[in-house]
Amino acid sequence: MKLQVGIDGKTYEVEVEVLEDDALPSHPGYAPAQPQPAAARPAPAASPQAQAPAAVEVAGEDKLCRSPVTGVVIKVNATPGQAVQANDLLMVLEAMKMETNVTAPCAGKVKSVRVAQGDSVKTNQVVVEFE
């Protein structure tokens, strides 16, 4: 199969050979995931106790500040009890050698800072909670 590939404004014509699954080299310790039929998947438990914490967190979503990226905390400016205004710098995260400022979404008082300098954070992880 022939394809055209553009790189830096130049077009190259390449030839690609499609291998059958049998011809692919095996990788030790790797087994490709096989999709399960819908009936074989376990149904999530619907206990009221399991859903209560999620409902509490959603209800107070306006009092939470979440990480916009997956990265590492390189600086924390917020401290519990501190009064902040909207857009005040709370912390700085580093992701792929780029710094991202995390700012207060609204004015309020910091209830808790859930991360410290050097901690790894994931996208949408709660990093600061407001009163």
pLDDT tens digit sequence for 88-128: 999 999 999 999 999 999 899 999 999 999 999 999 999 99
CA 15-20-25 angle, 5° bins:
95
Chain Cα centroid distance, residue 129: 18
CATH code, residues 61-130: 2.40.50.100
Domain spans in the chain, listed from the N-terminal domain onward: 61-130
**Residue 22: pLDDT above 70?**
no
Note the pTM of the prediction, 2 decimals.
0.55
